[in-house]
Structure 1
Amino acid sequence: MLFMVVVTLYPFIYVLMSSLSDSRLLMSHTGALLWPQGFTFEAYKLVFLNPNIVRGYSNTLFVVTVGTILNLVLTSMGAYVLSRKGVPWTNKVMLLIVFTMFFSGGMIPSYLLVNNWLGLGNNLFALIIPGLISTWNLIILRTSFGSIPESLIESAKIDGAQDFHILFRVVIPLSMPVIAVMILFYGVQHWNAWFSAMLYLRDRNLFPLQLILREILIQNSTEYMTSQSSAGEVEAVGESIKYATIMVATLPILFIYPFMQKYFVKGVMIGSIKG
C-alpha cells in the first residue's frame, strides 16, 4: 500500500515542485525532484497574467455551476419517477435508457444535432444540454430513491403533498449522501471536459480552462506568457509555466474531495448494495 501511495503521489509532487522552481535551475536538474529548485512563484504570476487563463476559469466555473445544478434537478426527477411503485412502464423505460449506455449515434450525428438542430454551436450550453442526464448516475440515484420506505411517501401524500414537494422536501433530503456523489461525479465531469468544447466552440473567449490547458501542453502555446523572457530563457520559462498551469487547473477540484469524502463513500455504498 505504501508503494502504491508513493507511485500515485510522486507525479503530483513532481509537478508541484517544478511549478515552484526557478526555470533555469529546473532545466539543469536531473533525477527525482522532491523540493523546489530555487523557490519562486514567477510561473504562477505569468499564468495569471494570461487573459486566456482567467477567461477559461470563468467559463469553466459557469459550466460546472449551471451544468451541475441542471444535472441534479433533471436526474433527480427522472430517478424519482422510475423508482416509484405503481408507475407504469418503468421497466421498459429503464431498458431503453440503459440501451443508450451501449449504443449511440456517434460523433457526427451528435455534432449535427447540437450544432444544426439545437442551434447550440459556439455556445457554452452546448457543453451542458447534450449531457444533462448520465445513465449511470440515473441508475445510482434511482436505486437510492427506491430504498426510501414507501410509507414516508404515502404519509406525505396523505398530508396533501404533490410529487414535486415529495421529491424536493422528502426524498432528496433523505438521500444527501448520494446527492453528494452526484455533485462530485457531475462536477468533475464538467471540470475535466475538453473534447466537447473543442468540437462545438470556435470563439476563444468561450474556451473552458481545460481547452486552454490542452493548448499550452500539447501545442506549446506559451508565447504570450514568455514574451518578456530572453531568447535563451523562453524554453525554460515555458516548461515552468506548463507545470504551473497544470496545478492551477487541478487544485480547485482536488480541494472538493476532502469535504465530500464521507458522503461519497456512504453514497457509493448505498448505490452498490441495492444495485
Structure 2
Amino acid sequence: MEISKSKSHLKRMPLSERVFDIGIKCLFALIIIGILYPLWFIIIASFSNPQAVANGEVLLIPKKINLEGYKALFSAGLIWRSYLNTIIYTSVGTLFQLVVNLPAGYALSRKELVGKKWVVAFFTIPMFIGGGLIPTYLNIKSLGLLDNPLVLIIPGAVSTYNIFVIRSFFKENIPETLWEAAQMDGCSTIRYFIKIVLPLSKAIIAVIGLWVAVGIWNSWFDAMIYIKNQDLHPLQMILRRLLIINEGIGSGAASAAGNASNEMMRQRSEMMKYAAMIVSTLPIMCVYPFLQKYFNQGALIGSVKE
C-alpha cells in the first residue's frame, strides 16, 4: 500500500523533480556502498587465502576459505588476557564516566546553580588548553597510578563535551514542571534525579555510553605510556604489537626473493592483519545496532546549543 502511494506521488511530480529525486537516491546508494563495501571486504579477506586477496580474486565472497590468520592471532599467549582486560576497562570505564558526567550535566542544566557561569568556564578551559604529556605523566606518577588499571579509567572520566551534550539534553527534554511537581510531593533533588530524570533520559545515556565505550575500546596510547606490565595491557595494545612484529616479518620475507617459507610468513602476516581488524571491531559492531535507535533523539536533540 505504501509502495503504491509513493509510486503515484512520484508520477505526479514534474520531470525535473523526479530526475532530481532519483539522482539523490542513487548518490546516497553509492555513498552507502562506499562505506559498507570496505567493511565487507575486510571480513571476507580475513577468511580468504591471502594469495587470492593479493591477486584481486576476492570481491564479494571469500575465496579458498582459510582460518590461519585467526589461529595465528589467538595462539598468541596474551590475546585472551588482553581481551578480558579490555572488556573490564570498557565496562567499568563506561559506567564510571556515566556516573560522573550525568550528574554534572544535570547540575549545569539547573537555573538555580550558584556560580553557573564560573563553573561552565571551569569546564570549558580544559577543552582548549591541555597540560601536556610530561606534566600529565608526572601527575599520574604522583598519584601512584603507574602500572595501575585505574589509570585507564579515572583520569579521563570527566569529558567536558559529553557534559555539555548531557546538559543540553536535560534542558530541552526534561520539563521544569516535573521538578515543581516533585517538590510539592517532598522529593529531594537526588531522588528526583534518580527516580524521574534518569528513566526519561535513556536516549542520551545510550548515546554517551556508546561514545565512551568505543573510545575506551579503541584506546591504546594511555596503556603504552602508563602501563609496563603486559598482563594489564588492553586488546588494542596487544594487537598493535602483534601487527608491528608481523609487519616487520612480512617486510623482511618479501625482500627475500625465491624462498617459499618467507612467502608463507608474508601471507601469514597479511591474514593476521585482517583477522586483527575483525577481532578488535566485532564487539562494538554487535552492540551498535541495538543502540542506533536512540541516536536521533539523543545526539540531535541533545546537541550543544543555547
- Check whether TM > 0.5: yes
For 2:50 and 2:222, locate their aligned partners in 1 and report how far apart those are by CA, in whole Å.
34
Using the TM superposition, name which of 29-38 and 90-99 deviates more.
29-38
User: 2:31: which partner in 1?
Assistant: 4
Check conservation: 2:207, 2:294, Cα contact below 8 A: yes
Q: CA deviation at 1:38?
A: 0.3
Per-residue deviation, residues 141-181 of structure 1 (Å, max 9, x unmatched): 01112231222112223323222211111111111111111
Deviation at residue 24 of structure 1 after TM alignment: 4.6
Could you tell me how far 1:196 is from its partner in structure 2?
Answer: 0.9
CA distance in 2, matches of 1:181, 1:155: 28
TM-superposed deviation, 1:189 = 0.8
Per the alignment, residue 102 of structure 1 pairs with 128
CA apart distance, 1:32: 5.9
CA distance in 1, matches of 2:62, 2:248: 22
Residue of structure 1 equivalent to 2:144: 119
> For residue 226 of structure 1, what is the aligned residue in structure 2?
none
Correspondence for 2:163: 138
Change in Cα spacing, 1:252 to 1:222, as seen in structure 2 (3 Å) is farther
Matched to 1:246, the amino acid is: M
| Partner in structure 2 of residue 76 of structure 1 | 102
1:236 pairs with 262, 267, 270, which one?
267
- State the partner residue of 1:260: 291
Structure 2 gaps of 5+ residues are 1-27, 250-259
CA drift of 1:136 comes to 0.5
Contact persistence 1:24–1:233 (CA under 8 A): no
What residue number does 2:19 align with?
none
Sequence identity (%): 40
- 1:271 is paired with a residue whose SS is coil
Q: Deviations over 1:206-238 (max 9, x none)?
A: 111111121122342798xxxxx9555222122
Shift of 1:195: 0.8
CA shift, 1:42, in A, is: 3.1
Q: SS where residue 34 of structure 1 aligns?
A: coil
* RMSD after superposition: 2.1
CA distance in 1, matches of 2:73, 2:168: 44
Alpha-carbon spacing, 1:78–1:273, altered in 2? closer, same or farther (3 Å):
closer
CA distance in 1 between partners of 2:109 and 2:244 (Å):
45
Change (3 A) 1:166 1:258: same
Equivalent-residue separation in structure 2 for 1:32 and 1:230 (angstroms): 24
Report SS of the residue matched to 1:160.
coil
- Counterpart in the other structure of 1:271: 302
Cα 1:117/1:154, change in 2 over 3 Å: farther
The within-5 A match list for 1:24-103 is 24-27=51-54, 29-30=55-56, 33-103=59-129
1:166 matched residue in structure 2: 192
Asked if 1 retains the 8 angstrom alpha-carbon contact of 2:42 and 2:278, the reply is: yes
1:220 aligns to what SS in structure 2?
helix
After TM superposition, list the pairs within 5 Å mapping 1:157-236 onto structure 2: 157-220=183-246, 232-236=263-267
Structure number with the bigger relative contact order (C-alpha 8 A, sep ≥ 6) is 1
CA distance in 2, matches of 1:49, 1:158: 63
After TM superposition, the structure 1 stretch with the greater mean CA deviation from structure 2, 212-221 or 54-63, is 212-221
Structure 1 unmatched runs, 5+: 224-228
Report the Cα offset of residue 77 of structure 1.
Answer: 1.3
The reply to whether residue 248 of structure 1 matches residue 294 of structure 2 is no
TM-score (norm: length of structure 1): 0.90
Please say if residues 22 and 37 of structure 1, whose CA atoms lie closer than 8 Å, have aligned partners that are also in contact: yes
Q: Mark the CA change 1:107 to 1:31 in structure 2 (over 3 Å): closer, same or farther.
A: farther
Matched position secondary structure for 1:131: coil
Q: TM-score, normalised by structure 2?
A: 0.81
Cα 1:150–1:267 shift into 2, 3 Å? same
